[in-house]
Structure 1
């Protein structure tokens, strides 16, 4: 039995089916939305118009799953888990009918939910979270009702916030981003976030830092008309929440399953819930091991969710798989600005007691003389005594973001910055300077480590 019909849940179901046929293993999956197996990461690009149709984001329809003997029941919400009885209580959201269904093996893939600031008016019509296809459709309907030339306020300046700012700009809206932090993109250090802020301003996106939201003001019809902070009020025809997500683990908490400091389920390397032989969990509802810091983290990404599902499905189906952990790699964009990070920020390193050095370099995506060479900034952290790579952040134009993959591999391998300087990376003027920007940063980091003794 699978609770949650998106990336982790249906990857687990599909992988388990590859191991065992319908006569050996019955698979039932519950999904409270209208859709299963879709790309939530693609929603901002659907809203912004780069992806034309909702169907393009759907990897496999419920009917296609049923053709493979996976009984995916959409618009059905699981409301209770009875661990002692080995069963779950579900409710049909159309009819309201409830029923108990037994399981031998349970997979929890309940995902994450948008964080809604606890302020007046936050649940008013015209305020949209963006987590599911249903959310995306509701937002598109709201934008169509307003029409072009409206005013949009995005609350939050993380990945979702900056991606939605671009989407709304593409739809012809005047966009204001309210960010309670020092700079946008808190997954970066503030000095790198400042580069993002400057670029967003250049694109016509008004970004207000230090702007904690105190409420959403509504009109006579009850719809949102403005967002208030301590210092000002910002008119809005639509309000989009980009304040991040938190694990959707209410069911797990009520059932007494183990949760971590971020509220996510805790699992072993096989993605089995700790202390429960018959339950697995994966996707945005779990915490995972950070291979650099050695601590558990909540890292909600579709890449991890699909890997979790593959591991769970293999183990449920009688095979074997493990998920060792992550290094925290993520990329994003706002218009032509590319943003990437992997490993630890400065405050992450300090929190776990690591002494470090940092370097920042300016370079280009191609040889400087080659047409369309675009600037990029690379920041690198290395452990002070050993020179072990701790983290990399990149902000630039075309060709910048995916360079972070080199650093992600180096982090996973536990490489030092000195070892990185010898990496045999591809070179030709259309693709890179002679010294790739990541290797330029590594060379400078070697010098910083030596200077620090």
Structure 2
């Protein structure tokens, strides 16, 4: 097949920005650049291989569950709105090659198969993450679904509408896994979660993950720990009928994969762009790809600076992607902005259970060679005498001699999850646990005990630090 050139050399009188990826980071960068530079100064061409742009992937489990009734509620800005703002958006068009030397990208129309080259003066790579899908027998059978994009969510809903059985197996127990377990519960399915870990939510320490498992079992979810999926079994019709491990089979009418994701850097690797230890693109503080003056990258395809460890880590979250896109757009339009790094804050829920973490786990601290103390406390979301006060458990890690806060994990009911933001700010500011005990937090019986649970944990951690000195 011949590959056409989008324009002859020397035909352009204005700069062209090419964006690969039409979701959070890519379209935030394009929109910010357009706000700062008009169409007469900067042409913007964005490629998106799917049907949708600028949507909340984090909201997909809640759309699948029915808590969010309409798919379009997850879309922040439609393709038509982007085009109306002067962004040349090409849907269902997949970039297949980046030619760094000649400053151009090759793209293929997924409908017609036609390919063409588009040159750029500035390039933004926002290719996101690739969900893990093990190469196991039956993994591509009808009824097995990953959940990464709106297209994926729609495909799963289409399957659910055609499926008579009510047995769902979720493979993996990270954020997506536990959220999809809730979605299947809310749709009336019998849910089994099969995962490799000692406990669910490996972003937590096992003692905190145990609390999640016990709560999910209390909701009626069958939790299968320490189990490696080896195959997906199919029926005579070719559709999924069970998930197999070495020791057992778990009947399934639908299978949802929540195993995790890796940075989608296939294009970047082939183009010789710098990748980190976790496979993500490496950028400087301005989100410029290291060693390349006219290429930027952001979102789930990049590694970020962990402010606690001072090292690059892979922490894919939509909050980071949107901020990075804004920074990229400002910089490529001639402004100046930086992305300082993250502390790894995340929050999730399963029905009424809230799960939150920020900073380091114990194994992160050990791997970094840090000596630390831990403190775990049980408290309530409100004053104990106030109606509907709910329990929560807070675990805190602090550096052994200095008392520097290293990480916090929280598991509880209503009012527990967002308390992690207190710890996130403390981590970013580099506070010690002793300094945290004096924070002037808001108090009233409907909102908190006199001593907020995070501060109670800080007091206990501070005492543990003193005992080690």
TM-score by length of 2: 0.96
Match of 2:29 in 1: 12
Alpha-carbon shift at residue 448 of structure 1 (Å): 0.2
Task: Write out aligned runs for 1:298-313 (5 A).
Answer: 298-313=314-329
**Post-superposition offset of 1:370:** 0.0
Give CA-to-partner distance per residue, 1:316-347, whole Å, 9 cap, x none: 11111100110000000000000000000000
Asked if residue 200 in structure 1 is aligned to residue 216 in structure 2, the reply is yes
User: Secondary structure in 2 aligned to 1:372?
Assistant: coil
Q: Is residue 364 of structure 2 the alignment partner of residue 348 of structure 1?
A: yes
TM superposition shift of 1:179: 1.1
Give the equivalent residue in structure 2 for 1:255. 271
| Alpha-carbon separation, structure 2, partners of 1:72 and 1:443 | 53
Look up the match of 2:455: 439
Alignment of 1:248-287 (within 5 A): 248-287=264-303
Match of 2:46 in 1: 29
Alignment of 1:373-388 (within 5 A): 373-388=389-404
Alignment of 1:88-99 (within 5 A): 88-99=105-116
Question: How far is the alpha carbon of 1:221 from its aligned partner?
Answer: 2.3
2:468 alignment counterpart: 452
- In structure 2, the residue matched to 1:133 is 150
State the secondary structure of the residue aligned to 1:26.
strand
Alpha-carbon distance between aligned partners in 1 of 2:289 and 2:140, rounded to the nearest angstrom: 33
* Distance in 2 (alpha carbons) for counterparts of 1:190 and 1:269: 34
**In 1, Cα distance between the equivalents of 2:243 and 2:279?**
29
**1:105 — aligned with what?**
122
Gaps of 5+ in 1: none
Deviation of 1:218 after TM superposition, in Å, equals 1.3
**Counterpart secondary structure, 2:42:** coil
Q: Partner residue of 1:242?
A: 258
Corresponding residue to 2:406 among 384, 390, 394:
390
Does the alignment pair 1:183 with 2:199? Answer: yes
- Flag as ranges the 4+ runs of structure 1 deviating above 3 A: none
Distance 2:112 2:133 in 1: 28
Specify the alignment match of 1:156 in structure 2: 172
Task: Give secondary structure in 2 for the equivalent of 1:222.
Answer: coil
SS at match of 1:283: coil
Q: Distance in 1 between matches of 2:142 and 2:382?
A: 47
Q: Unmatched 5+ residue regions in structure 2?
A: 1-17
Q: Distance in 2 between matches of 1:122 and 1:299?
A: 26
TM-fit CA distance, 1:158:
0.2
Q: CA offsets per residue over residues 23-54 of structure 1, 9 Å max, x none?
A: 00000000000000000000000000000100
Partner of 1:334: 350
Query: Residue 231 of structure 2 corresponds to which residue in structure 1?
Result: 215
1:413 equivalent in alignment to 2:434? no
Among residues 48, 53, 63, which one is paired with 1:46 in the alignment? 63
Please state how far the C-alpha of 1:239 moved relative to its aligned partner: 0.5
For residues 154-185 of structure 1, what are the alpha-carbon distances to aligned partners after superposition, in whole Å with 9 as ceiling and x for unaligned?
A: 00000000000000111111100001000000
How many angstroms apart in 1 are the aligned matches of 2:270 and 2:237? 37
* Structure-1 separation of matches of 2:396 and 2:322: 29
Displacement, 1:118? Answer: 2.6
Counterpart of 2:86 (choices 69, 92, 115) is 69
Q: CA deviation at 1:220?
A: 2.0
Using the TM superposition, name which of 384-393 and 294-303 deviates more: 294-303
Take 1:382 and 1:404, find their aligned partners in 2: how far apart are those partners?
A: 15
What SS does the corresponding residue of 2:300 show, helix, strand or coil?
A: helix
Distance 2:439 2:429 in 1: 13
Please point out which of 238, 246, 249 is paired with 1:233: 249
Q: What RMSD over aligned residues (CA atoms) do the two structures have, in Å?
A: 0.6
TM-score normalised over the length of structure 1: 0.99
| Residue among 20, 35, 38 paired with 1:3 | 20
Deviation digits for residues 299-319 of structure 1 (CA, Å, limit 9, x no counterpart): 110000000100000001111
The separation in 2 between residues aligned to 1:183 and 1:144, in whole angstroms, is 32
